[in-house]
Structures are given as C-alpha cells and as structure tokens.
Amino acid sequence: DIEVTQSPSSLSASRGDRVTITCRTSQSIGSDLNWYQQKPGKAPNLLIYGASNLQSGVPSRFSGSGSRTEFTLIITSLQPEDVATYYCQYSDNTLITFGQGTRLEIK
C-alpha cells in the first residue's frame, strides 16, 4: 500500500505570508494528487486537482506543484478566510486515501 505523510500537522502564519504544505507518498503516483480546504464546521472544498490544476472558483493565491512522491500546496498571500484544515488526497487504483491534515491558523 502507498503511504502518505502530510506536513506540518499544524502551522501559524501572519496575514500576507507565503504558506507551504507538503505531502509525500511512499511510491510514485505521477501527478495524481488533489488538495482540499475544510473550514470549521463546513464540508471540504476541492482546491487543486491533478497536482497543479486550480479548481474553478478557487482564488489564484492557491497553487499546487509536484509530481511522483512530493507535492506542495502554496498560499502566496495568506488571508484571514484561509483559516482551515487542508488535506491532500490520492488514489491507488480504486482505493482512496486522505493525508492526515494540516491545521492552519492566523497569528
């Protein structure tokens, strides 16, 4: 089975900061990784699919990069409304796994 490690588990940053969240997989998954944002009390929201494709309606300050075993979600200028937990997700054939989540707070 492919294992995923998402880091950090939590972070605190200031408004306007550049924020980076990473997911690493134990085997290559090509570009088949997706990112979600879950605000407190809400359902998750798809941000990035296929490692780097911005989902419609998502602000351009969000971007994704990476391939094979290392992937990154970047928020270029952190806004107060970005307070949320972020998850990566991949599929190993028809078995789907979410990362452990990264809780993002504003200082």
Partner 1 sequence: EVQVVESGGAVVQPGGSLRLSCAASGFSFDDYTMHWVRQTAGAGLEWVSLISWDGAVSSYAGSVRGRFTISRDNSKNSLYLDMNSLRIEDSGFYYCVKDRQFGFASGYSHPMDVWGQGTTVTVSS
Instruction: Report the interface residues with partner 1, using CB under 8 A.
Output: 29, 32-34, 36, 38, 43-46, 49-50, 55, 85, 87, 89-91, 93-101
Least CB distance to partner 1 at residue 100 (A): 6
- From the CB of 79, what's the least distance to partner 1, in Å? 22
Q: What is the 3-state secondary structure (H, E, C) of the chain?
A: CCCEEEECCEEEECCCCCEEEEEEECCCCCCCEEEEEECCCCCCEEEEECCCEECCCCCCCEEEEEECCEEEEEECCCCHHHCEEEEEEEEECCEEEECCCEEEEEC
Residue 76 or 100 with smaller CB distance to partner 1: 100
CB nearer partner 1, residue 5 or residue 77: 5
CB of 63 or CB of 85, closer to partner 1: 85
Q: Cβ of residue 81: shortest distance to partner 1, in angstroms?
A: 18
